[in-house]
Structure 1
Amino acid sequence: MPYGPDLDGTSEKAAKVASVRVQLEMHSLWEQFDRLGTEMIVTKAGRRMFPTFQVGISGMDPESEYVLLMDFIPVDDKRYRYAFHSSSWLVAGRGDASPPGRVHFHPDSPARGAQWMKQTVSFDWLKLTNNPLDDNGHIILNSMHCYQPRLHVVLVDPRRNSHSYAQRNFCTFSFPETRFIAVTAYQNHRITQLKIASNPFAKGFRTADPDDW
């Protein structure tokens, strides 16, 4: 089901962004992971997300240009640990100080609404890292903390005083089923199994005929 923007009621959005609707692709797969407690690997070098954050967009003005970007916000101020005896995540104490906030711009930005709406928009180049000194532009996260990905749609306003309309020219979308805990190694073996079963790039981890290797 397409989601409308997360409006906070503090400002009226421009018509060209208020009409935008976003639908999460691979929704059923995200829900499978969410039921288990999604985990995403973070590494020093940076690791891509799986499932990949992909959306279908509608309601844009075809001729106007938009910028798409993502950020990741902490769900709470807690640090977590995985309890193997109960196969569940438990609060382990106060969270660590948040690393530098970063955004990931979709590489096709800016583009006309017609281009964004004609195909699935995939953030497959986005990488997650736990290196606070990363200089590759990856999203920096704390391991064992819970995060919510957010998508921002920004209208490119050609007016010279466009900064005066900044609050009106963007809208934000978030999907609760995409939240995850950042880890350096998978804790729940069922998450590992589901990732291997559903990720086409994890073929080498599966039990297969040697002739297929």
Structure 2
Amino acid sequence: MKHIYLLLIGPHLSQSCELSLPCCADGGSPSSTKAPQVSGVRVKLEMHALWQQFDQLGTEMIVTKAGRRMFPTFQVQISGMDPTAEYVLLMDFIPVDDKRYRYAFHSSSWLVAGRADVVAPSRMHFHPDSPACGAQWMKQTVSFDTLKLTNNLLDDNGHMILNSMHRYLPRFHVVYVDPTPNSHLNAYRNFCSFSFSETLFMAVTAYQNHRITQLKIASNPFAKGFRTTDSQDRTGVPSPIVGGAVWTVPPL
């Protein structure tokens, strides 16, 4: 798999593809440059409406030294694979720009605070079921619920290393496992990549926007203990965050 990793972090994937369109090495038609096993692959983002709600507020994802799971979880439905071919699924995260940000509470907005910090080490997160045949991947939702985000540059647990107060876009890659000899020579033809603009997020060590905190608590099935039945909440009026709630929202 080493050649796959080197290829994906190289110039061929320097630009992400929005929504469910495969990324092409030369910017042309996917079918003209990609192997038939990947040229027809299409990906649909699950929980799309929830991702959009977060995106409208400015999604934030917690990063910790020990590693924190994402919520919403990155989940997709895949179609167009060769049912009998084997595929590896993986993810990485790319900086959206070269800036570092800070949150202005008085205006409830993110402001540029300077140039980005040194880029964290590039890593790929392989789905634990990889490799598997196309039929298996397509029969159910593919969830990256074991993926964790960290700000520990020395992490040795395989978590995705991100810089806090920087913006990132998750990328999803489908790689066909070509059994032919010297398949690495044509490796650029055997993958397609996908990104979804509504999954863009700011990496933070604590939630900055209280509305993000409230939406995470309200929509996370593992956060029932943090919800309140206060009458103000039932009327849709945000209640104040007290007691350090931004630190106690569960990992998902």
Q: TM-score, structure 2 length as denominator?
A: 0.81
State the distance in 2 between where 1:128 and 1:70 align. Answer: 12
Q: Which has the higher helix share?
A: 2
Moved segments of 4+, more than 6 Å: none
CA contact (8 A) 2:25 2:188 kept: no
SS at match of 2:185: helix
Query: What does residue 242 of structure 2 align with?
Result: none
Name whichever structure is richer in strand by fraction. Answer: 1
| Count of aligned positions | 208
SS at match of 1:171: strand
Matched residues in 2 for 1:45 and 1:64: separation?
36
Gaps of at least 5 residues in structure 2 are 1-18, 231-252
Amino acid in structure 2 at the alignment position of 1:141: L
2:199 maps to 1:182? no
When structure 1 is superposed on structure 2, of 10-19 and 135-144 the one drifting more is: 10-19
**Given residue 110 of structure 2, which amino acid in structure 1 is its aligned partner?**
W
- Identity across matched positions, percent: 78
1:151-162 to 2 correspondences below 5 Å: 151-162=172-183
**CA distance, structure 1, for counterparts of residue 220 and residue 171 of structure 2:** 22
Residue of 102, 122, 128 corresponding to 2:143: 122
Quote the residue 1:103 is aligned against: 124
What letter is aligned with 2:152? N
Give the 5 Å matches for 1:58-207: 58-207=79-228
The corresponding residue for 1:36 is: 57
Cα distance in 1 for residues equivalent to 2:25 and 2:181: 26
CA-to-partner distance for each residue in 1:146-197, whole Å, 9 max, x for gaps? 0000000000000111101100000100001001000000000000000000
Extract unaligned runs of 5+ from structure 1: none
TM-score (norm 1): 0.95
Structure 1 residue 4 displacement after superposition: 2.3
- TM-superposed deviation, 1:208: 5.6
In the alignment, which of 10, 23, 27 is matched to residue 6 of structure 1?
A: 23
Contact preservation (8 Å) 2:59, 2:200: yes
Distance in 1 (alpha carbons) for counterparts of 2:25 and 2:109: 33
Task: Give the superposed CA RMSD.
Answer: 1.3
Question: What SS does structure 2 have at the residue aligned with 1:166?
Answer: helix
How many Å separate the matches in 1 of 2:50 and 2:159?
24
